[in-house]
Chain A
Amino acid sequence: MTSPLEQKKIKIAGPSVVTANRTWDGIVVYRTAAKSWSADLSEAAIVRNSDEAKALLAESVADDVGAVGAYIAPVQVGADGKIEPGNLREQIRRTGVTIGQPAQV
């Protein structure tokens, strides 16, 4: 996982969000514009340049009790404003494993 330390020099190629894992249970969460965390990607704050990304990441990392391991992740924003993960890793984090889980099959 790319740590905030490694993301000091932030360059983003497109719309991005800050994602992390909620501290008490570890689930995937996204930083919202209301300075909170949400498990729903559609509620994530979108950043579009390095300065915005840096600021959102700094604010997210500071909320160490709420979530852990915050980092910037790419997203795609559709014409209708719908937010989708920008790569396979983030797709898997959002929708879960791509395989049937043993207890469910």
Chain B
Amino acid sequence: MYAYDEIDRTLVNERVSEFRDQVKRRLSGELTEDEFKILRLQNGVYLQLHAYMFRVAIPYGTLATNQLRALAHVARKYDRGYGHFTTRQNIQFNWIKLAELPDALEDLAKVGIHAMQTSGNNMRNVTSDQWAGVAPGEIEDPRIWSELIRQHTTLHPEFSFLPRKFKIAITASDHDRAAIKIHDIGLKLIKNEKGETGFEVLVGGGLGRTPFIAKTIKHFVHGRDILSYIEAILRVYNQYGRRDNIYKARIKILVHELGIEKFSREVEEEWQHIRNSSLQIDDEVIEDIRSRFTYPAYEKLPHMPDELRQAAADPDFEAWRKNSVAPHKVQGYSIVTISLKPIGKPPGDATAEQMDALADLADVYSFGEIRVGHEQNLALPHVAKRDLPALWKALDKLGLATPNVNLITDIIACPGLDYCSLANARSIPIAQELTRRFANHELASLIGRLHINISGCINACGHHHVGHIGILGVEKNGEEVYQITIGGRADENAALGTLIGPGVKFDEVADVIEDVVEAYLALRERPEELFMDTVKRLGVEPFKERVYATR
């Protein structure tokens, strides 16, 4: 966990006071909506279909139990008893009243949570691997560097009025759980030949209307230089990024139009001006941040405790353990992913009761710490293996032990037309129907790893471009129509999916996905060949033929 210092606490509290005054002036008519809009967006407040939506940041996906309880409190007191975890380590409340927002912000500020960097054309919440600090083989904890960047960019005037929003993600593992290649800047922590910490820097990734996979702009930037290098990138973007056309304003368009070579030359030139400035990071700064992260006092525990051995006789427990429990860097401990994808329910939603109960479980079983992943699931990062059976029973009672992590029902979905003012089509009902179709755990396990991502419009908040199967809802002649892509992925081998053919109607989507899955099961050479391997081997044609032969 990270403990905020006095500067952070003051900043967050002052922000609440400012916003309270701004809301008061808006409600009295002293501020028009045009004047107020940018102010509310800087505090995570959108206007959606039914109400204001309030987006709260969970920097690098780390939450303490008192913070999760505060989110539950906001859901219960100011909203309708639930929240929605997003694909960028935020949580959204869908039914907030503007008049009550300052109180909600104040309640969150008491536990160091805020809504800065969750909207507007500025640097957004820095995201990271939800297994940061506990994943075996990790270079080092990427949250140290995430926090450095968070501190540097929060309310930084140079980054507060960018051509468009700007997102950074950081990973320190070979397997990328932070989807760094679909971010404006992706950072991969590495060591050079001298053993020094630095970053491979990628730039220009993003989804939306014009999707791009990020390109490597520099293979190694020393840790001490990372702020100046990021700043150089942002200065080039600020200078050349288009402000005349919202659809061409993201850095991915600039990188594409200039070409990565020219773009990197521009960045290099800018970097040389600022590299040896106050932006150079002293080791003491990093050590100070590192010292504010607390790590559990792990016990020396056996690799295979008796409790785990005995519980293995229960097939339901074993199904959950095999699916949702991952190795930890410390012997005797595990990382437990909490699926927020129960069959037939909206992906990523959690009730206030679930949040409170999960906080209690995290206090008992995970040193008071919870993580949030971009796949819209949660994780308990420090669970002793001996406690897994008891934890599973408790999670099961809460409806939080669905053993479907990374399986076909672990669907990423945006709020879609049920909530979002930008959406053209519904996402959540499609996800719900698909989870019902593939509810059988044996079937889902037989299919194996398969990610379905659903977006209700081209803005791609559901990351449909990088779903193994992507579903994009559009509107055609007043009807919801869904385009299906195959072969996308968001990991270290990130790729964009390929459209398989004409869009299909709302009622046909689940049938089409069943056809795609049946085709895969028939085409795979052996049970271990995953969906993506089959697509890689055969391309999309066999799937296309299967789907459209009878349609």
Residues of chain A whose beta carbon lies under 8 Å from any beta carbon of chain B? 1, 21, 23-28, 64-65, 68-69, 87-89, 92-93, 96-99, 101-103, 105
Which residues of the partner chain B approach A98 to less than 8 Å between Cβ atoms? 418, 426, 429
Closest to B23 in A: A24
Q: Does B448 contact A (CB under 8 A)?
A: no
Distance A25 CA – B95 CA, assembled complex (angstroms): 9
Pairs across A and B, CB under 8 Å, 16 listed: A21-B47, A23-B33, A24-B97, A25-B97, A64-B33, A65-B29, A88-B417, A93-B49, A97-B419, A97-B428, A98-B429, A99-B418, A99-B428, A101-B80, A103-B351, A105-B345
Closest to B34 in A: A64
Which residues of B in the span 70-111 have a Cβ within 8 Å of any Cβ on A? 75, 80-82, 95-99
Which residues of the partner chain B approach A65 to less than 8 Å between Cβ atoms? 27-29
Flag B416-428 by CB within 8 Å of A: 1 or 0 each. 0111011000101
Which residues of the partner chain A approach B426 to less than 8 Å between Cβ atoms? 98
Distance A99 CA – B345 CA, assembled complex (angstroms): 9
Among the interface residues A88, A102, A103, which one has the most CB atoms of the partner chain B within 10 A?
A102
Q: Does B204 contact A (CB under 8 A)?
A: no
- B51 pairs with A25, CB closer than 8 A: yes
Distance A99 CA – B436 CA, assembled complex (angstroms): 14
What's the tally of chain B residues with a CB closer than 8 Å to chain A?
38
- A69 pairs with B97, CB closer than 8 A: no
Given contacts A24-B97, A25-B51, A88-B480, contact A102 B350 (CB under 8 A): yes
- A92 pairs with B418, CB closer than 8 A: yes
- B418 pairs with A25, CB closer than 8 A: no
Distance A92 CA – B423 CA, assembled complex (angstroms): 12
Which residues of the partner chain A approach B352 to less than 8 Å between Cβ atoms? 103
Contacts between chains A and B (CB distance < 8 A), count: 83
Given A1-B422, A99-B418: 12 more A-B contacts, CB < 8 Å = A24-B97, A24-B98, A26-B98, A88-B417, A92-B49, A98-B426, A101-B80, A102-B81, A102-B349, A102-B350, A103-B80, A103-B351
Closest to A101 in B: B80
Whole-angstrom distance from the CB of A22 to the nearest CB of chain B? 9
Which residues of the partner chain A approach B50 to less than 8 Å between Cβ atoms? 26-28, 93, 96-97
- A89 pairs with B417, CB closer than 8 A: yes
Residues of chain B whose beta carbon lies under 8 Å from any beta carbon of chain A? 26-29, 32-33, 47-52, 75, 80-82, 95-99, 345-346, 349-352, 417-419, 421-422, 426, 428-429, 432, 478, 480
Taking chain A's interface residues, is the majority helix, strand, or loop, or is none over half, making it mixed? loop
Which residues of the partner chain B approach A88 to less than 8 Å between Cβ atoms? 417, 478, 480
Which residues of the partner chain B approach A97 to less than 8 Å between Cβ atoms? 50, 418-419, 428
Distance A68 CA – B32 CA, assembled complex (angstroms): 9
Distance A24 CA – B82 CA, assembled complex (angstroms): 21
- A102 pairs with B346, CB closer than 8 A: yes
Whole-angstrom distance from the CB of A51 to the nearest CB of chain B? 25
Distance A85 CA – B429 CA, assembled complex (angstroms): 21
Given contacts A87-B478, A99-B432, A105-B345, contact A1 B421 (CB under 8 A): yes
Partner of B81, one of A23, A28, A99, A103: A103
Distance A101 CA – B349 CA, assembled complex (angstroms): 9
Which residues of the partner chain A approach B99 to less than 8 Å between Cβ atoms? 24-25
Closest to A25 in B: B97
Whole-angstrom distance from the CB of A61 to the nearest CB of chain B? 9
Which residues of the partner chain B approach A23 to less than 8 Å between Cβ atoms? 26-27, 33, 98
- B96 pairs with A69, CB closer than 8 A: no
Which residues of the partner chain B approach A103 to less than 8 Å between Cβ atoms? 75, 80-82, 351-352
Partner of A102, one of B47, B51, B345: B345
Distance A24 CA – B28 CA, assembled complex (angstroms): 10
Closest to B478 in A: A87
Among the interface residues B48, B52, B345, which one has the most CB atoms of the partner chain A within 10 A?
B52
Which residues of the partner chain B approach A1 to less than 8 Å between Cβ atoms? 47, 421-422
Distance A71 CA – B350 CA, assembled complex (angstroms): 33
Which residues of the partner chain B approach A21 to less than 8 Å between Cβ atoms? 47, 51-52
Distance A68 CA – B29 CA, assembled complex (angstroms): 12
Which residues of the partner chain A approach B80 to less than 8 Å between Cβ atoms? 101, 103
Which residues of the partner chain B approach A24 to less than 8 Å between Cβ atoms? 27, 97-99
Which residues of the partner chain B approach A69 to less than 8 Å between Cβ atoms? 33, 47
Given contacts A27-B51, A64-B33, A68-B33, contact A92 B417 (CB under 8 A): yes
Distance A23 CA – B50 CA, assembled complex (angstroms): 12
Distance A26 CA – B428 CA, assembled complex (angstroms): 22
Distance A64 CA – B428 CA, assembled complex (angstroms): 33
Which residues of the partner chain A approach B49 to less than 8 Å between Cβ atoms? 28, 89, 92-93
Distance A89 CA – B473 CA, assembled complex (angstroms): 13
Whole-angstrom distance from the CB of A36 to the nearest CB of chain B? 16
Closest to A87 in B: B478
- B429 pairs with A99, CB closer than 8 A: yes
Partner of B351, one of A28, A68, A96, A102: A102
Which residues of the partner chain A approach B33 to less than 8 Å between Cβ atoms? 23, 64, 68-69
Closest to A63 in B: B29
Whole-angstrom distance from the CB of A26 to the nearest CB of chain B? 4
Distance A64 CA – B37 CA, assembled complex (angstroms): 12
Whole-angstrom distance from the CB of B414 to the nearest CB of chain A? 13
4 A-B pairs with least C-beta separation: A103-B81, A26-B51, A25-B97, A97-B418
